[in-house]
Structure 1
Amino acid sequence: MINIFKVVSFLEGVSYLLLMFLGMPYKYLESLGNDPIYVKMFGMPHGILFVAYIVLAFLLKPVFKWSIKEFGIVCLLSLLPFGTFFVGKYLKKDVA
């Protein structure tokens, strides 16, 4: 299950970056045409991956015996751009 979580965390991070740096400018910048197509294209996959990330974090919490603080850090990383890319490094410390 840890490998699934690593893959989901990576994909969630990529989808978040695509949404923030491609979808949002195309939707809100007049020079790019005010086209919401990329937000629609990246929004749903990002939402699904975000929910999967949080559910997997809840499932892994007892496996790794995360404290509330550690669990909070893992959840907080999902809200920060580039944050989920650091989860893999964080988990390597727990696995070792």
Structure 2
Amino acid sequence: MIKIFKFTAISEGISYLVLFANMLFIKPNNFDLYKTLLFPIGMAHGILFIGYIILAFLVKKSQRWSIKDFLIVQVASLLPFGTFYIEKKYVKNA
């Protein structure tokens, strides 16, 4: 389960950055391409985000996270590069 959480955390972080890149770099230059890419990138990111949250609940007990640590793991999913930090600092035994 921990390996799946690590993979999901990294994938969710990458999808978040790709979504930002689509918005910041592609939208000003090519609006049609932006609209074409927005749905698949957004859908992939949404699924990975939900998976990250659900897996965090499942992994919480095996990693022995305190409430504070668990909240940090949850809030990190909202920040760019946050899931990469969590994957390195909080996920052990993988």
TM range (shorter): 0.7 to 0.9
Alignment pair present for 1:18 and 2:47: no
Alignment pair present for 1:33 and 2:40: no
Query: Which position in structure 2 is the counterpart of 1:70?
Result: 69
Please state how far the C-alpha of 1:91 moved relative to its aligned partner.
2.8
Please report the RMSD computed on the Cα atoms of aligned residues, expressed in angstroms. Answer: 1.4
Question: Which is bigger in relative contact order (C-alpha 8 A, separation at least 6)?
Answer: 2
Aligned 8 A contact 1:19 1:42 in 2: yes
Any idea what SS the aligned residue of 1:51 has?
helix
Aligned 8 A contact 1:19 1:38 in 2: no
TM-score of the superposition, structure 2-length normalised? 0.86
Aligned 8 A contact 1:13 1:84 in 2: yes
What do the CA deviations read for 1:40-75 (whole angstroms, capped 9, x no partner)?
121000000000000000011122221111001111
Please state how far the C-alpha of 1:33 moved relative to its aligned partner.
2.6
Identity percentage of aligned residues: 49
Structure 1 unaligned runs (5+)?
A: none
Take 1:60 and 1:18, find their aligned partners in 2: how far apart are those partners?
A: 26
Moved over 3 A (4+): none
TM-score of the superposition, structure 1-length normalised? 0.84
Tell me the matched-pair count: 90
Please state how far the C-alpha of 1:39 moved relative to its aligned partner.
1.4
